[in-house]
Structure 1
Amino acid sequence: MASRVLGMVRDAVFAILFGAGGAMDAFFVAFKIPNFLRRLFAEGAFNQAFVPVLSQVRQEEGEAGVRRLIAATQVALGAVVGVLTVVAMLASPLVAWVFAPGFHDDGVKLSQTADFLRLTFPYLWFISLTALGQSVLNTFGRFAAPALTPVILNLCLIGSAFWLTPRFDVPMTGLALGVLLAGLLQWLWLWPSLLKLGVWQPWRLGERHEGVKRIGVLMVPALFGVSVSQINLLLDTVLASLLQDGSVGWLYYSDRLSELPLGVIGIAIGTVLLPRLSEQARHADPKDFQRTLGWALRLVLLVGIPAMAALIVLAQPLLSTLFQYRAFTETDVLFSSRSLMAYALGLPAFMLIKILAPGFFSRQDTKTPVKIGIWAMVLNMAFNLILIWPLAHVGLALATSLSAWFNAGLLAWTLRRRGDFPARSLWLASALKSLLAASLMALALLWLMAWPALAFPDDVLGRVWRLAVLVLAGLAVFTVIALAAGIRPGQLKSP
């Protein structure tokens, strides 16, 4: 929660100081590419492949085996990502050309993207080693320090926006340097917790362990399986660069708002879920496995469905209150709100993917999610090509949401066919009650927004007051209806 709230502050600072379009589009592309790869490692493929193997080694070989596996993994991971980072920095003009084809006719913007990439790409090396530390700590039940690492990124970017950007002719150069600094500090942040744990010894560089090969085998397909939604978002950025100036920024701001509930609930539950499912999969108790997955389903749907409704109804009030100052105009709010509503339609699906994928990874099956992910990615591209012409950047967001629902549905169907999907009694009634409460909440919000007393004000305090009234009213309506429908807090406790 701290990370996501600071993320909103960071994006508000970006919008107020720099707006959308121009060099800011170039920075968004340069930041999104290594940030996308970070998600593959920190929240995706590496974590999903490493945690089950580490859990198995811990059970079979004890702490001595764990120390050897961690030491060998950090060398292999550091070497592979290090080579990728150096190559990307050297080839930054080519990387910019590939990922921002719409900038080809604007030599200044394309050159700025390449310059920013040289500064942002080393972040990938630091954050990959940070991901290793996070996975180790999560496996041993230490979640606080790993969860706080993104806070450092947001603080660095907020600080660089105020103190570094004025020092450069192109202000966004300061933001790119802030990304690099954040990577280093996130890595160093985990050192005390890792050293205290006693299984990580950074000076052990010559160790070998056969588990590294198993991690690599599991990790390659997992790169697609767990991160298809992020790949789709990256493809959105590529296509958005072909549209009118500002399209990349509009998608960025709307995506950031839709990711707030995803990061607070979806990713957090997925992080906690994988170690538990991995342990239950080894004990071969299908009922425990299903109960745990059923709990995760209930929780993400109880949050995801009303969050979807609220983002659709409150898209413009949220964006105007957070971002519509100085450089971020009313036009930017209008176009960003349209793509935010399209992304919000897929929010429950994005959250479901985060908890259904661990159902496969906990059994060391990364091939099935990658097959499903490839189909979802193909479908996303088809929707992109169909919807981009009539709907422009909104079509890209809508295509991502539609493909996410396909991905989540196919993951659920496959788990059910294998006997791992929870029985309907564990989640369906709760989901329907949440849908009813969210629908009534949306109607109540639309009614309130029509009140003259809640007309859009010009001053900052007026906007904050109006949004606070709407949010609190929506939360109250949803809570009352959910309780009346029979949802109780005790039903959300982990089994």
Structure 2
Amino acid sequence: MNLLKSAAVVSAMTLLSRITGLIRETITARLLGAGAESDAFFIAFRIPNLLRRLFAEGAFSQAFIPILSQTNAVEGKAAAVDLARRVSSLLFVTLLLIVVLGVLGGSWVVMGMASGLEVGSDQFELTVLLTQWMFPYILLISMVALASGLLNTFRSFALPAFAPVLLNISFIAGALLLAPYFDEAVKAFAIAVMVGGVLQVVVLWYGLARTGCWINPFAGFGTIKAAWSDEQVRRVLKNMVPATLAVSVAQISLIINTNIASHLEKGSVSWISYGDRLMEFPTALLGVALGTVLLPSLSAAATRSHEEFSRLMDWGLRLTVVFVLPAAIGMGLFSEALVALLFHYGRFDAVDVAMTSQAVVAYSLGLAGLVLVKILAPGFYAKQDIRTPVIIGIGVVVTTQLMNLVFVPLYGHAGLPLSISGGALLNAAVLYWGLRRRGLYTPSTGWAMYFTKVLLAAVAMGVGLWFMNQQFDWLAMATTPVLRIAAVLGVIAVCGLIYFAVLAVLGLNPRRLIRKPAGQ
């Protein structure tokens, strides 16, 4: 399967995941709104959700896949599967210990995550309980990440990309079927998270069995010593530590920001979380999909030629730019309509819409950085260069928190995602500069003209969007939800037509935009 088809498969599955994820958040907003109960759930789920992003989409994949790909290319599939077995054994035992400590020390976890919660209060106790219930999800999603990495290495992208859909389906079912039986609906949500994790493990292990790559992580207690002494396993673990910081700067900042938000008015954690969920849609569709597909290919190309590596990187960046610019402008200008469409139901009122919209606007300013990091960081990891992204990551984390000192007093809860956006843009810029300076990536000619054309088309689209947005009162349309859905989708469709029409006039047609790199 070539890169374009692989990216399309991952994007299609990711689109399904994000659609079901938005449905899940719509139901959450309807049942919980934005207050003490919803804040408790989002704080409790922050740790396992962070680990999902780090492992499934970040540090583990970046550390594991290049070494796994190299083993597969040099020593063959059997050796790659053996490596995965050894890694799974050590990972399982290590994470099992972490889970036990996390469950036993749930109150300490919550105090570390959200120091603004009053210890002993009902909200604090609910957050601790939910944290203890959902902490084992870390172990489940880590096993999912390992299976995904193995399947992706063997160019089987569909099941790993589909797996998150199972979590969303479980969540939706739990909210609709279990919530009525609990005094607090969030308890049903916590159970649904764990059921979703189990479903993902079962489906991906089934995929491994079908490809002849069955691994048994439960054998870890008997093989941990052999796994720890294995040189390749230790390389993976060694690379994971700095990769966690380098690739997931935005997520580390999100953890710190959750703590800060817990000191702000009630609902702040929820407003930021709902905004983050909305911004995950374009980030995952392009950044995660391309990053997942590019990393194994970049790792292989890194051993062959600089020209091939640069062509792959160039393709990923051009495809990113042409979609991320209109998405960022659209999210910023259309934030109220999107938030109202998705969340303005039940307990989620007009104030919640306004506050969440502010968070979405702040996130949209850094959307380009959030996506580009997922394309640029694999360029270093494909070369197994860990040190450079680590240094960049440390600097970005520090800078992001310094920005919080300025933005939070000025903009309240919206200052937190604004700082993440600023940090993401800085991260992407310095990663790009590092690739160029190290001579790892040489861009093709014509970038200035290409970017200018894309920017002109995006601005034209933005003007049209601004005009159309003024014609509707999105909050008042809550009484006619079907009409609101039709109006939002209609505006998006017209904006898409404007954007691609202007691109076509300027000489950029869709086939040229997505054309795969030569030889891939």
Q: Bin the TM-score by the shorter chain.
A: over 0.9
* 1:48–1:222 CA contact under 8 A, matched in 2: yes
Alignment of 1:99-114 (within 5 A): 99-104=113-118, 107-114=121-128
Q: Which residue of 1 aligns with 2:345?
A: 325
> Which piece of structure 1 moves more, 110-119 or 52-61?
52-61
Deviation at 1:204, TM superposition (A): 6.2
Alignment of 1:299-338 (within 5 A): 299-338=319-358
* 1:356–1:408 CA contact under 8 A, matched in 2: yes
Q: Could you tell me how far apart the structure 2 residues matched to 1:210 and 1:136 are?
A: 19
Q: Tell me the SS of whatever aligns to 1:425.
A: coil
In the alignment, structure 1 residue 152 sits paired with structure 2 residue 174? no
Deviation at 1:106, TM superposition (A): 6.8
Deviation at 1:2, TM superposition (A): 0.2
Q: Tell me the SS of whatever aligns to 2:199.
A: helix
Deviation at 1:449, TM superposition (A): 2.3
Name the aligned partner's letter for residue 480 of structure 1. A
1:472 to 483, 490, 493: 493
1:402 to 416, 422, 429: 422
Deviation at 1:67, TM superposition (A): 2.7
Q: Which residue of 2 aligns with 1:493?
A: 515
Q: Which residue of 2 aligns with 1:273?
A: 294
Q: Which residue of 2 aligns with 1:431?
A: 451
Q: Which residue of 2 aligns with 1:122?
A: 136
Q: Tell me the SS of whatever aligns to 2:184.
A: coil
Q: Could you tell me how far apart the structure 2 residues matched to 1:76 and 1:454 are?
A: 52
Deviation at 1:210, TM superposition (A): 2.3
Q: What's the % identity of the aligned pairs? A: 38
In the alignment, structure 1 residue 262 sits paired with structure 2 residue 283? yes
Deviation at 1:477, TM superposition (A): 0.8
* 2:380–2:389 CA contact under 8 A, matched in 1: yes
1:90-126 alpha-carbon deviations (Å, 9 max, x no partner): 1000100110111126711111111001111111101
2:307 to 284, 287, 291: 287
Deviation at 1:454, TM superposition (A): 8.6
Q: Which residue of 1 aligns with 2:3?
A: none
> Which piece of structure 1 moves more, 198-207 or 465-474?
198-207
Deviation at 1:429, TM superposition (A): 3.0
Q: Could you tell me how far apart the structure 2 residues matched to 1:264 and 1:427 are?
A: 23
Q: Which residue of 2 aligns with 1:98?
A: 112
Q: Could you tell me how far apart the structure 1 residues matched to 2:327 and 2:444 are?
A: 22
Name the aligned partner's letter for residue 361 of structure 1. Y
* 1:295–1:427 CA contact under 8 A, matched in 2: no
* 1:387–1:396 CA contact under 8 A, matched in 2: yes
Length-normalised TM-score, structure 1 = 0.97
Give the total of aligned pairs.
494
CA RMSD in angstroms, aligned pairs only: 1.6
Name the aligned partner's letter for residue 233 of structure 2. V
Deviation at 1:133, TM superposition (A): 0.3
Gaps of 5+ in 1: none
Q: Could you tell me how far apart the structure 1 residues matched to 2:121 and 2:324 are?
A: 42
In the alignment, structure 1 residue 59 sits paired with structure 2 residue 73? yes
1:83 to 97, 104, 107: 97
Length-normalised TM-score, structure 2 = 0.92
Change (3 A) 1:106 1:245: farther
1:418-450 alpha-carbon deviations (Å, 9 max, x no partner): 122342526443332221111111111111223
> Which piece of structure 1 moves more, 33-42 or 287-296?
33-42
Deviation at 1:149, TM superposition (A): 0.4
Change (3 A) 1:333 1:452: closer
* 2:34–2:271 CA contact under 8 A, matched in 1: yes
In the alignment, structure 1 residue 442 sits paired with structure 2 residue 472? no
Change (3 A) 1:452 1:351: closer
1:175-219 alpha-carbon deviations (Å, 9 max, x no partner): 011111111110011122101211333276536442101101111
Q: Which residue of 1 aligns with 2:6?
A: none
Q: Tell me the SS of whatever aligns to 1:66.
A: helix
1:26 to 36, 40, 62: 40
Q: Which residue of 1 aligns with 2:482?
A: 461
Gaps of 5+ in 2: 1-14
Q: Could you tell me how far apart the structure 1 residues matched to 2:450 and 2:437 are?
A: 22
